[in-house]
Structures are given as structure tokens and as C-alpha cells.
Structure 1
Amino acid sequence: MPLEIERKFLLEGEAVPSAVATEPIEQGYIAVTGDGTEVRLRRIAGNCFLTVKRGKGGFSRIEVELSVTDSEFEELWPATAGARLVKTRHSVRLDDVLAYVDVYEQNLSGLRTVEVEFPSEELARAFTPPDWFGPEITGSDRYKNRRLAVEGLSATAV
């Protein structure tokens, strides 16, 4: 099974470092369960995907992503009503990995996060974030996109 291994941080500074790519993202959730399983529909820079993620804890979980056509995306999109978010993703090169700076829009305006994906848990544990990263929120349910899509910024309140 494909494994997603990532660490996530808040981004509190104003400037986004120079990006190698900038892409708009529309994202909605068809299903979310209490055990951390989610079915996500996403359009990123014109490409459409259906993704199933499974697992709650730590910085790794199962992720299976399938390409879908524009018409399939449009057919499924209404099923995400009430569980959507919009953001712009800036891909920033950090030595041998990419950091994904997400600038949220609409009802999540003002929220900015940065995620780094790794090929192994060992590399994830060994990673030292640069000074421009804010506090680490890896594993914090309050900042999971599925929760933000449903609850908005109130999800981040303590």
C-alpha cells in the first residue's frame, strides 16, 4: 500500500519563499469516518483526483489516489457540499525535499500551513524545519484539512 509520510507546520510570517510552482486547489470530502478514513475529491491545477486516506496517528498513513476525468469530478462534486475548501499551494524547494505552502481562501482566509512529504519515516524524524516554519501541527486533528473543510477556522479553536 502507498504510504503518505509528512510533517505539517503553521506558517506565521507574511512572505512565502520563492516557489517552483503555484497551483490552485479545490478540495471536498465525500466521506469522513471516526477512524481517520477519508474520501477526498480534489482538482489541482486542472487535474482531478479521488483519494482515499486511512489512519489517524503520527505522520504516516495509507493513501491511494486515482485520477478522475473532469466529468467524473463534476458528477461527484455535489456530494462534497458542506465539506469543501479552497487554497493555493506554493511548492518550495528545501534541499532534497519540497515544502508545500498552502494559503487558504474564502472562509479559511488567513490560515497558512506548510507540509513536507518524505520517502521514509526515518527521514521525517530527522528533518529539521527551517526558521521560517512556525509551530509543528503534525498529528493535530484541529488542522486536518477534512476537519477544516467541515468546521472552518472554528476547528482550530482550543
Structure 2
Amino acid sequence: MGDPEAARQEDMSMGEEIERRFLVAGEVPDGSTRRTERIEQGYLPLDVDGAEVRVRRRGGQIFMTVKGGTGLVRTECEEPIPPALFDALWPLTEAARIAKERRTVALEGGETAEVDDFGGRLAGLAMVEVEFETAEAAHAFRAPSWFGREVTDDARYQNRSLARGEGVPQPSGPGADDGA
């Protein structure tokens, strides 16, 4: 018989997340939205060498995610967790939470974009992110005209920074000053 813990670790979804993030500077094209869902996520008070741990409720699913690094390519491990564990951890995130509506949008080049419209104290902030299979594909991507300034490497626009209120950017969108 094998080690059950070792088998569980092999099943964990661990890998790299390769994504570019932009402010939204125009209207999302009509008819391009595939689905919309509400996301609530909170960050546990742990930050070691840029690593972050969050719990997230996305639609009917609950996850714990550990991310490491910054910028275009990051390490990511995400696992579904039982509701009881989420309920136990959620109060620990009280000082670092965000809520957003996420629209999944089809792009003309075949990519999928996720448009996040933030709520609460971040109301008015809209960002779009696109994930890629390779760093080369990410670098080759040409953003549509409704994408605004790229913020992939701007720590103020990372979800954990937004959740903690660290350098919260001004609201963006049509006609808003994005601080550039």
C-alpha cells in the first residue's frame, strides 16, 4: 500500500500561472461575455518572500490557493476545500478581502479574458487578465483597444494588495484617471 499523503500531494494542482493584467479603458464588446460569477476572496495574514495564501468562494466552489512570486510567471497551487474549512479560515481574512464580479469574455484572437469589476471600497475599479500556456504566447499577445494600461508588474494592482488596502489605485474605466 502506498502513502496516502504522498498520493494526495501528487493530485494537487500545482504549476505556473502565466498571465498579463490590464486596466479596463473602454467598453467590453457586446455579445462577447460567456458567463458572469461573483467571487469573494480573503487573504490569510501570511506573507513570506512574496508568497500568499487565500481562500476563495467562486460561484458554488470553494478553494484555497497558494501563490508565489510576482509578475508575468508565478507559482500557483490551488485546491478545493470543504465548506467547514473555508468557514473556519474566513474570519482570519477580515482585514484583507475583496469582492468582484468576473465576466469571462471571448477575444478575437481565440484567447479568453477575465474582466473583474470590483465592489465595496474598490467600486469603479475594473481590470482584465488573460492567461497563457507559455511566456512566449504572453509576450506575443496584442491587447484589444478596450484594454488600458498594463499593470502586470505593478504590485498595487495585485489582488492581495487591493485586499489589504496597500497603495489602492484610483478607480479606472472610461473617462477615469488611472494614475499613469
TM-score norm. by structure 1 comes to 0.92
Deviates most, 116-125 or 72-81: 72-81
| Partner of residue 95 from structure 2, selected from 63, 82, 98 | 82
Change (3 A) 1:112 1:32: farther
| Partner of residue 21 from structure 1, selected from 35, 39, 48 | 35
Q: Deviations over 1:33-73 (max 9, x none)?
A: 252100011000120000000012x3001000000122221
Secondary structure of 1:149 counterpart: helix
User: 1:144 Cα shift?
Assistant: 0.6
Q: Which residue of structure 1 lines up, in the alignment, with residue 16 of structure 2?
A: 3
List alignment gaps of at least 5 residues for structure 2. Answer: 1-13, 171-178
Q: Counterpart amino acid of 1:110?
A: G
Count of residues in correspondence between the two structures = 155
Q: Which residue of structure 1 lines up, in the alignment, with residue 62 of structure 2?
A: 48
Tell me the distance in 2 between the aligned counterparts of 1:90 and 1:73: 24
Q: Which residue of structure 2 lines up, in the alignment, with residue 140 of structure 1?
A: 154
Change (3 A) 1:69 1:34: closer
Equivalent runs, 1:92-103 vs 2, <5 Å: 92-94=105-107, 95-103=109-117
| Percent of pairs with identical residues | 47
| Partner of residue 31 from structure 1, selected from 42, 45, 64 | 45
Secondary structure of 2:42 counterpart: strand
Point out 4+ residue stretches in structure 1 off by more than 3 angstroms.
Answer: none
Q: Counterpart amino acid of 1:31?
A: P
Secondary structure of 2:103 counterpart: strand
Deviates most, 19-28 or 29-38: 29-38
User: 1:32 Cα shift?
Assistant: 4.0
Tell me the distance in 2 between the aligned counterparts of 1:150 and 1:46: 25
